[in-house]
Amino acid sequence: MSSKTFYLETFGCQMNVHDSEKVVGTLLQEGYRQVETVEQADLVLYNTCSIRDKAEQKVFNRLSDYKKYKKQGKTFGVLGCVAQQEGEKIFERAPYVSLVAGSASYHKLPQMLKQLENAQLENAQLEKVRIESAILEAGNSPTRKPETENLVRITGLDDRETDKCFETEFTARTNPHRGYITIIEGCDKFCSYCVVPYTRGKERSRTSQSVLAEARQMADLGYTEIQLLGQNVNSYKDSEGNPSRRKTFAELLAAVGEVPGIRRVRFTTSHPRDFGRDIVDAIDAVPTLCDHVHLPVQSGSTRMLDAMQRLYTRDQYLERIAWMKSAKREISITTDMIVGFPGETESDFAETLSLLDEVGYDAVFAFKYSPRPNTPSIKLEDAIPDQEKARRLDVLMSRQREVQITRYKKYIGTKCEVMVEGRNETRAQWIGRTTHNKTLNFVIPPTTNQTADPGAHATANPKAGSYVPVVVTGSFPNSLLGELVV
């Protein structure tokens, strides 16, 4: 068993979750062993998020604990967006951190780990020599060195110039049935409120060949669901060497959907400006592409969209919604919204509210605007007080709840195929997910249920990762309830 242990905690979005799977795979390959707690670890890593102030604060709260851990000889590393954003300033705020690396540098992670290990070894040897010579010279114990002296500091802070993607064959996926594949990293959109272009570097796409090879490899391993990831998957540009084999995003999506063994393909996130009709055509043509599109709008007011530098108007956004509504299958639409952007008037906000009814979203992820370092909108005047942002968020979420109640009710009586995700023992229900990305919890009807006839129908229990038909019997604002069809 390896003696080098690490603990990794992840904050933030799916991109971070998947980056962590790749970081874990890399560390395992470098001879480290993953442990469950900070206490058990030699190397403690935080993969951080800085999209909103609250997310950023979380990592500094964690790091405030480490004086006590440092005494136990642990090494700390900050990865991800806070690392890239704060850079070497992290060493000032948290002097015991030894590694600071943004996601654009992960391709150099094996080298950084070696540098870290070598520097620590060298330090330990120097310290040994220092102690031995002090004892020899003075005949007594050497004075204690300040705790921050000789700290190892390794940085991976590639700026926006990197062309490299973090590709590794050692991804340690946490779910054996569905998994992520990054197709594009970074972002060139520069929405005025957003840190991502500064923290994740410039847009760079993988080749379609490499993405498809990974999809086939996952299918061979038994994966049936794949989610293509990127901050803006719609601006995917195939970097495949042979121009005749280059694929658009819609073509790549369709090709992943046609990989034998793959039953469901999802993608996130889309940007309305780059969202083409060909994506809806692909969904129409390839049955494995899921009936769900997450299309962040941010605001229903064209004036606010302009201030946010989103590069589309409300009408253009609604045009994309119309494409989806005219698809052969019913596509479930979800979105992100920001309330309280500087200068947002009551009438701008009312336009956002009216969009909820007009589109009929199945889920809305809404956030209070959080001013972020380096972004153009931090300089905007006319800030909305936090209390007012909170009020608008409340109003928006209550209105959306009503929309969802109506939308989810419509499923009652319909039959849906779900992928089984597990079991909720407390509620004695199975947890499933529909192609629309809705949670559909279900029970097994009494005739085949084990409890009705213990032992006799043990095989009736659905396995995690299997696909089963479920008839919807009830609805809630965020989930459905059903019964397995036997």
| Residue 320 within binding range of ligand SF4, rule CB under 6 A | no
Give the whole-angstrom CA distance, residue 259 versus residue 479: 30
Binding site residues, ligand SAM, CB under 6 A: 13, 51-52, 193-194, 196, 231-232, 269, 271, 296, 298, 336, 338, 367, 369-370, 372
**DSSP symbol at 289:** B
User: How much helix, strand and coil, in percent to the nearest 5, is found in the chain?
Assistant: 40, 20, 40
| Residue 233 within binding range of ligand SF4, rule CB under 6 A | no
Question: Nearest approach, Cβ of 366 to ligand SAM (angstroms)?
Answer: 8
Rg (CA), the chain: 25
Question: Nearest approach, Cβ of 10 to ligand SAM (angstroms)?
Answer: 14
**DSSP symbol at 298:** B
Which residue is it, tokens 């700290």? Answer: 151
Nearer to ligand SAM (CB atom), residue 154 or residue 195: 195
User: In sequence order, what are the residues at sequence separation of 6 or more whose Cβ sits closer than 8 angstroms to the Cβ of residue 450?
Assistant: 444, 456, 457, 458, 460, 461
Q: Which of 8, 112, 113, 194 binds ligand SF4 (CB under 6 A)?
A: 194
- Report which secondary-structure segment, H or E, holds 268: strand 264-268
Nearest to 289 by CA among 261, 267, 322, 321: 267
Structure tokens that stand for 170 in this block: 């050692």
Which residue is it, tokens 């509210």? Answer: 353
Pairing of strands 225-229, 178-182: parallel
| Residue 190 within binding range of ligand SF4, rule CB under 6 A | yes
Q: Which residues of 285-321 are buried (b: 16+ CB within 10 A; e: fewer)?
A: ebebbbbbbbbbbbbbbbbbbebbebebebeebbebb
Question: Nearest approach, Cβ of 271 to ligand SF4 (angstroms)?
Answer: 5
Helix and strand numbers (H, E) in the chain are 14, 19
Among ligand SF4, ligand SAM, none, partner that 369 touches (CB below 5 to 8 angstroms by kind): ligand SAM
Nearer to ligand SAM (CB atom), residue 103 or residue 370: 370
| Residue 52 within binding range of ligand SF4, rule CB under 6 A | no
Question: Nearest approach, Cβ of 9 to ligand SAM (angstroms)?
Answer: 18
| Residue 189 within binding range of ligand SF4, rule CB under 6 A | yes
Among ligand SAM, ligand SF4, none, partner that 323 touches (CB below 5 to 8 angstroms by kind): none
Choose the stretch contacting ligand SF4; rule: CB under 6 A; options: 189-197, 209-217, 218-226, 438-446: 189-197
| Residue 268 within binding range of ligand SF4, rule CB under 6 A | no
Among ligand SAM, ligand SF4, none, partner that 190 touches (CB below 5 to 8 angstroms by kind): ligand SF4
Nearer to ligand SF4 (CB atom), residue 179 or residue 197: 197
Q: Which of 271, 292, 389, 438 binds ligand SF4 (CB under 6 A)?
A: 271
Contact footprint for ligand SF4 (CB under 6 A) = 187, 189-191, 194, 196-197, 231-232, 271
